[in-house]
Structure 1
Amino acid sequence: MRVVFLLVPHVHLLDLAGPAQVFSTVRDLRLGYELHYVAEQEEVPTAQGVPLRAVVEWPRLGRDDLILVPGWRSLTFGERHGMLTGSTRARIAAHHAGGGTVASVCAGADALGQAGLLDGRRCTTHHGLQDYLARRYPQARVVRDVLFVEDERVVTSAGIASGIDLALHLVATRHGPAVAAQVAREMVVYARRNGDAPQHSAMLRHRDHLSDVVHRVQDVIDDRFADRLPLRDLALAAGVSERTLTRAFGEATGLTPLRYQQLLRLERAEHLIGHGATVEAAAHATGFEDARMLRRLRARA
């Protein structure tokens, strides 16, 4: 997968560095990522004063690739710093038309608007720019008070640190929430899907803590949630007593290890059922002894 960061003059460093760190960490997991930094000129000034070097030649992109536009410092959208050439706008539009995904952080939403990709779609941007975005693109449906919004492979985020949430969401969508949680843990940030995300994965929802003991146990459960996992084995894996594990797990997640495992099983079973599997087949695939327990958990949920 190629991730192309389109750098606009006066780009905000964190708008760029947050998502770049996420995808470079995924690359370090040997999942086949390439990161590219392109611009309309080789030297790009940043809002924080550190100049960046980029290439002007775009790599060849396919439908599995991503274009991401970090935000830039501008009092309003449409200032000369954010205006793209016709060829750049056409590249963004053509990539999306060919089945690719485009994303933005903060003011980067304006680049997607210039490419005609916000009309008729839900989107967001930094809270200080939402009114201007709505005025500049009246056919766009600006969503407020969310971290990010995804609409037909157009993904926009609120700005600054929310670019990390956007990138983790894209990783979770492509590789599953366990990989996203692993990346977030490496970055020492909360793994979360917030804002407009329609699915709130249990793996990410209960990873918003910094307990290394609990993370180690969650790593085991995430990898083997369909197996029988006695509490003593989990405690042994974490190097603590069963009582200590139960207390720490509850403090960090509000759950017992068994309840967390059940949530993962239920979430996976619902996915299988939604794709045509019977309740019995889904129960078997996710480690339930029979379908009755799965039915009870679904009814309770």
Structure 2
Amino acid sequence: MSHVVFVLVPGVHLLDLAGPAQVFSMAGDFGQPYRLSYVADQEEVCSAQGLPLAAHTQWPELNADDLVVVPGWRASTLRGGPELSRSVLERLRAHHTAGGAVASVCAGAEALGRAGLLDGRRCTTHHHLQDELAARHPRAIVVRDVLFTTDDRVVTSAGIASGIDLALHLLAVRHGPALAAQVARDMVVYARRNGHEPQASAMLRHRSHLDDAVHRAQDLIDARFAEPLPLAYVAASVGVSERTLTRMFHRATGGLTPLRYQQTLRVERAEHLIGHGTTVEAAAREVGFQDVRMLRRLRSRAPSEATG
């Protein structure tokens, strides 16, 4: 049994903590039990969502097989985050020096940075905090717009839910991808994502507008992007003409047509499948391309061309 220790700071985000904790807890249901502990500088920590959390003030004995995780916390800037005690930073450094792994979710990367563990290493954090992390820790190699990074037993992940991806990745590395897939399935996680996948999927990147009709059209395309969706059908579903929908869609999404949006979703899903070992031909069929050459053409385009 391995030990996973979560370091709790005031204002900790519940999902930053609960997502990875759930992953490691459920691993025991498939024969790989983990012991979970929660430590802090005080016996009770209030989460960002107002739920008080109990913690131990004494750290357990750890060895090189164990993992220390720093979940993120609520703060508009890293500078404005909670105080991190010297003892916590020393513990993080000591565990890594002894051969152990340390990990962070979202703003938790700041703790690793203050401990000196990001110097010369690849790392990431929430996309809103990446520039500040790079400025505060200039020796760190901040990788932008990825879900997680691993570098010399230092593992960092992006915002909130990406902590689940990080934990599933660590299970896959240690116990094989089958266990990670079993845990993901039981957690009803849509798919185990690779670290290099973007933090914001196409379903999120083009949703910052306020046009209800376009949102309804996107809802339909999101749910059925692998199916043939004639423009006339999509337009009728949201109660506008084809020409009106095209014009509204183009304006709301920054230049996309409904077809281009559908193709973007297909290519993004195909890239995910290929990254997990699916052949290009099988991925093309899975996402609805009748001709694999169309997928190859779209993949070969520059990002701005493939999605514009």
TM value normalised by structure 1: 0.64
Alpha-carbon separation, structure 1, partners of 2:171 and 2:15: 18
Query: Residue 41 of structure 1 corresponds to which residue in structure 2?
Result: 42
Alpha-carbon separation, structure 2, partners of 1:112 and 1:174: 22
Shift of 1:80: 5.3
Which deviations, in whole Å up to 9, do the C-alpha atoms of 1:227-257 show, x marking residues without a partner? xxxxxxxxxxxxxxxxxxxxxxxxxx99xxx
Shift of 1:193: 3.5
TM value normalised by structure 2: 0.63
Query: Residue 86 of structure 1 corresponds to which residue in structure 2?
Result: 86
Which deviations, in whole Å up to 9, do the C-alpha atoms of 1:32-77 show, x marking residues without a partner? 3100011111110111111111111111000000000100001211
User: How do 1:61-140 residues align onto structure 2 when only pairs under 5 Å count?
Assistant: 61-79=62-80, 81=82, 83-140=83-140
User: How do 1:156-171 residues align onto structure 2 when only pairs under 5 Å count?
Assistant: 156-171=156-171
CA contact under 8 A between 1:6 and 1:69: conserved in structure 2? yes
Q: Which amino acid aligns with 2:157?
A: S
Shift of 1:262: 9.9
CA contact under 8 A between 1:149 and 1:155: conserved in structure 2? yes
Q: Which amino acid aligns with 1:102?
A: V
Structure 1: stretches of 5+ with no match in the other structure: 198-252, 255-259, 264-301
Structure 2: stretches of 5+ with no match in the other structure: 198-268, 271-275, 280-308
Alpha-carbon separation, structure 2, partners of 1:166 and 1:74: 22
Superposition CA RMSD, Å: 2.0
Query: Residue 205 of structure 1 corresponds to which residue in structure 2?
Result: none
Which deviations, in whole Å up to 9, do the C-alpha atoms of 1:105-156 show, x marking residues without a partner? 0000011111110011110000010011011001101101100000111000
Shift of 1:261: 11
Alpha-carbon separation, structure 2, partners of 1:78 and 1:85: 15
Shift of 1:28: 2.7
Shift of 1:98: 0.7
| Identity between Structure 1 and Structure 2 (%) | 67
**In 2 relative to 1, CA 138–53 (structure 1 residues): closer, same or farther, beyond 3 Å?**
same
Query: Residue 283 of structure 1 corresponds to which residue in structure 2?
Result: none
SS in 2 for 1:150: strand
Alpha-carbon separation, structure 1, partners of 2:277 and 2:75: 47
User: How do 1:143-182 residues align onto structure 2 when only pairs under 5 Å count?
Assistant: 143-182=143-182
Alpha-carbon separation, structure 2, partners of 1:19 and 1:39: 17
Q: Which amino acid aligns with 1:75?
A: S
Query: Residue 287 of structure 2 corresponds to which residue in structure 1?
Result: none
Query: Residue 190 of structure 1 corresponds to which residue in structure 2?
Result: 190
Alpha-carbon separation, structure 2, partners of 1:174 and 1:61: 18
Shift of 1:195: 2.8
